[in-house]
Structure 1
């Protein structure tokens, strides 16, 4: 029962803490409400079944989640010229890269070789604008914005894991007062999107999405498992999550990957005293994701009727922790600090040049600064 309760908590926290970020990201790159609901459903089902398959096959607590940093990247990216179909093409390319990273070891090693300060700085730059959303919410809707922030702050002092779900609950209450819950359409219709491909979507969406997913989710996910005494081979995990990403992409899903935060819930002592039985928690969490995915239509319709600034505020609160961790990782070591700050500033600027987004240019600028510093040394 301890493993079951931990799995239920992980599933709820994993969905409630970041679904607003996912919806915001899909809408930003051109998804209609129906396509966003389809994407949310596809991601939830994909990560649920991926976690169930891996946990049952390996008898290890392998937690899978959607790429929250990837969704934040999408939220900070302008819609492609070719519409949402072009974004879906980028999702497919990212899925291919994730799969190849698991099957072809040199690619996985190349991504792992990206200096940690640069990877963290790029992620921090992506998250920065979204983390300002709670402040904007207070400025535009003081009562509702403050209620959400106060709920998050108070609950965080008691149980940090439940802080974002508490903010979600308050936001739902505030929104329901003016936009009642939908009475039908809770189960969304899957929307198959014809993909489009372009150089700008490859460099502006697919490559940054792949890098942040690997550097900010897959590698930390392995570290969480290792810290709890589990050391599975990385290649099959990456390849499996890549395959499920490919399966969800035509329906609007951007990427699924190894979980980090919810992995700690399923792999830690809270999931039971026997490490050999904690895989049950990951299976229960996966089943919970599938159930939430089947209700994604109602969730999306409710969010679409809400003031966007309130949804962004919840997303910003959910991303404060990842933003702080990314900034700490970017500037912690004196070596490479200047390069990391350049990467952060360029990425956070949101500048787009030659149709390529700021995340790519930030990584390129930071890398150039790091090479220059090493050459001078």
Structure 2
């Protein structure tokens, strides 16, 4: 794939609208899903220094990819961490060591890179029927939806305010609903009865911490395979759709997936668990709000890269601020941020009558939190769903 050949000069093509679109995309990405990443880290009781290393690696990784790919292709290529992947990790990493988790990160990046280099991304994506992949995602995420209302029991005023803000914002500013919810909850915590303080939050530069990976077969099967499926189906495929819908039909996808996973491989030992094409935040940078000329929207991608790197370097402050918030706030914010994804996943999983039973079994197994033979339920849910779906399809052909 040759990169965009139009005569472009970054300074000449610069616009405030595209630059600010990149800033908003990063703001939305961190505000809406950092809480989910932190829950994944807390699932293993990681020390603060390692959590900061995770955020540093993710921010720098996203930044390098956004900046480099957008500059090279002259298209707004927005790369994000896998939010559904983080949610999967938050429910699957309990009892695992950080070394085993790092082995999973490296496995997923290597598998994704191999598929990108082989040019078989679309074929591999078709191996897992979309209803089954959607059911896997819904089953993993449903716990976050429940957490909204279990948190309400703990802090009814705080969570009630967040619910009102979230659903109210859906009417007049849906794109910023999660940010407004974050702000409303934070203001209540800072100025309400509890008078939460962040005086102890540090301002230093985050430090990377290298973790030697450990590869355990049951962990790779039970966590790595579902993480790969979720990242591919729930993140990369929608990301491709956003690019195509925005007019970037000629953009080759395999080089993007390959480049992103090379960066992930390098940064995985520092906590970069999975990077992929963005969808929701990408739409902010690829649409007309960014720039009326689609050939000049790549500035938004460069801008997003710069702000991602800056956010990663500020990991000490960001993690410190979120760590000062009560768990009820973090859980509710994560659940509200994933509400739309849960709804769309359930719809995609159960929309087709022929696949409904197989998808429902996948959803129930993944949601149950079961494990068998040392392998998590997310893997078994996919296996059972695919088997039932194939049996149904075979029966239909014979009928």
Question: If the length of structure 1 is used for normalisation, what is the TM-score?
Answer: 0.96
- Say whether residues 1:350 and 2:365 are aligned partners: no
Q: Matched residues in 2 for 1:305 and 1:266: separation? A: 32
1:227-238 aligned within 5 A: 227-231=245-249, 232-238=251-257
1:61 aligns with 2:76: yes
Counterpart of 1:8 (choices 23, 31, 43) is 23
Whole-angstrom CA distance in 1 between matches of 2:207 and 2:233: 33
- Distance apart, 1:30 and its partner CA: 4.3
* Partner residue, 2:67: 52
C-alpha distance 48-181 of structure 1, shift in aligned 2 (>3 A):
farther
For the pair 1:88 / 2:102, whether they are aligned, the reply is yes
Map 1:62-77; keep pairs closer than 5 Å. Answer: 62-77=77-92
With over 3 angstroms needed to count, the CA separation of the structure-2 counterparts of 1:219 and 1:140, relative to structure 1, is same
Gaps of 5+ in 1: none
CA contact (8 A) 1:100 1:107 kept: no
**CA distance in 2 between partners of 1:73 and 1:45 (Å):** 22
Partner of 1:371: 390
Q: Which runs of 4+ in 1 moved over 4 A?
A: none
Question: For residues 237 and 112 of structure 1, what CA distance do their matches in structure 2 show?
Answer: 19
Name the counterpart of 1:154. 168
1:216 maps to 234
Distance 2:362 2:258 in 1: 29
Matches of 2:93 and 2:202 in 1, distance apart?
A: 32
How far 1:289 sits from its partner (Å)?
A: 1.1
Distance 1:181 1:365, change over 3 A: farther
Q: CA RMSD in A?
A: 1.5
SS at match of 2:120: helix
Distance 2:126 2:252 in 1: 15
Superimposed CA distance per residue, residues 172-193 of structure 1 (whole angstroms, 9 cap, x where no aligned partner) = 3344422424342442221111
Whole-angstrom distance in 2 between the partners of 1:262 and 1:340: 28
The 2-side partners of 1:281 and 1:246 are apart by 25
**Contact 1:217–1:257, Cα closer than 8 Å, also in 2:** yes
Matched, 1:334 2:353: yes
Q: Deviations over 1:40-85 (max 9, x none)?
A: 111011011101111000001111000001001011114244x111
Is the 2:93–2:101 Cα contact (8 Å) retained in structure 1? no
Larger radius of gyration: 2
The CA deviation at 1:108 is 5.0
The whole-number CA distance in structure 2 between the counterparts of 1:77 and 1:328 is: 24
Give TM-score, length-normalised by structure 2: 0.91
Per the alignment, do residues 239 and 181 of structure 1 end up closer, same or farther by CA in structure 2, a change over 3 Å counting?
farther
Q: Please name the residue that 2:379 is paired with.
A: 360
Give the secondary-structure state (helix, strand or coil) at the position aligned to 2:276.
strand
Question: Displacement of 1:354 after TM fit?
Answer: 1.4
Which among 126, 131, 136 is matched to residue 117 of structure 1?
A: 131
Structure 2 residue aligned with 1:26: 41
User: Distance in 1 between the 2:43 and 2:197 partners?
Assistant: 22
Query: Which residue does the alignment assign to 2:265?
Result: 246
Superimposed CA distance per residue, residues 263-313 of structure 1 (whole angstroms, 9 cap, x where no aligned partner): 111111111110100111111112111111111112212222322121011
Deviates more, 1:295-304 or 1:11-20: 295-304
Q: Distance in 2 between matches of 1:291 and 1:204?
A: 34
SS at 2:80 equivalent: strand
Unaligned ranges ≥5, structure 2: 1-15
> Which residue is 1:128 aligned to?
142
Q: Is the Cα–Cα contact under 8 Å of residues 95 and 245 in structure 1 kept in the other structure?
A: yes
Which whole-Å deviations, capped at 9, do the CAs of 1:294-352 have from their partners, x for residues lacking one?
Answer: 11112212222322121011000000011111111111122211111111111111101
**1:198-234 per-position Cα deviation (integer Å, ceiling 9, x unaligned):** 0121012211111110111111101110011102111
Q: What residue in structure 2 maps to residue 103 of structure 1?
A: 117
2:375 match: secondary structure:
coil
Distance in 2 (CA, whole Å) between partners of 1:22 and 1:359 is 19
Change (3 A) 1:305 1:234: same
Contact 1:80 1:87 in 2 (8 A): no
How far the C-alpha of 1:106 sits from its partner, in A, is 3.3
The answer to whether the 8 Å contact 2:128/2:386 transfers is no
